[in-house]
Amino acid sequence: MSADIVTLSVDGLEIPVTVVRKRVKNLNLRVRPNGTVTLSIPQHLPPDRARDFLERRGGWIAEQVRRNIERGRELDVDSEPLDRIPLWGELVTRGPVQTGPGQGVLGQGVLGQGAIDQGAIDELYRSEVLRALPDVAEHMQERIGVHASRWSVRAMKTRWGSCTPKTGSIRINARLAAYPPACLEFVVAHELVHLLEPSHNARFHALLDEFCPDNRHLAKLLKSAPGPR
């Protein structure tokens, strides 16, 4: 396996792309949450083909990198200590404050009186989604008429939710606690609809429109940095 660096100049950004030759059949492009970009290519693909592919996707790559930069500014563990964090669409400070949706307290025992660290934020988000999920899941399952066999909450970097239609298992991203409660409801609805229609075809979107009419707005909201609107 060998790697080269190709620099893309797009919309004022100089974006280094790591091009890795692997035993793959197709070109696989990935923009990581930290802003790094990797392109995996077949071992014998000419370099010009790889560059042409990157230039065609340059606009999309720049958009993803900018988005990740903005998200990183919100929750950057290497930046100055955080005094406020986004929680259910609002900015909250350390110490005892009411949280939502439902009843809950973001207490001094969770974040303490000192600087807020990323580990505490991750644990807070996970506990908040675990608390809110049962009621949201029950409501949406009754509304849609389908039930998951298992729910779990985990930190995911590239997806807000995922499901395995064959087993009925659904996974929800803990970071949804940073966004308004409606975003959690949307992702739960999205994954439940996948139990009825595994693909993103016209039937899937028609069902999602029926059970979550505001889904397009909420999907757009999840592409922006969390915080008050």
Task: Show Cβ contacts of residue 9 under 8 Å, excluding neighbours closer than 6 positions.
Answer: 15
Structure tokens at 172: 């929800």
Task: Show Cβ contacts of residue 88 under 8 Å, excluding neighbours closer than 6 positions.
Answer: 99, 100, 101, 128, 177, 178, 179, 180, 181
Judge contact between 221 and 199, C-beta under 8 A. no
Judge contact between 146 and 189, C-beta under 8 A. no
Q: What is the pLDDT, as a whole number, of residue 75?
A: 46
**pTM of the shown model:** 0.60
Mean pLDDT by 10 residues, the chain (229 residues): 74 82 87 81 88 88 79 48 78 58 39 59 91 96 96 90 94 95 97 95 96 94 82
Q: What is the pLDDT, as a whole number, of residue 80?
A: 42
Q: What is the pLDDT, as a whole number, of residue 142?
A: 96
In the 8-state DSSP scheme, what is residue 146? -
Q: What is the pLDDT, as a whole number, of residue 14?
A: 80
**What is the Cα Rg of the chain in Å?**
20
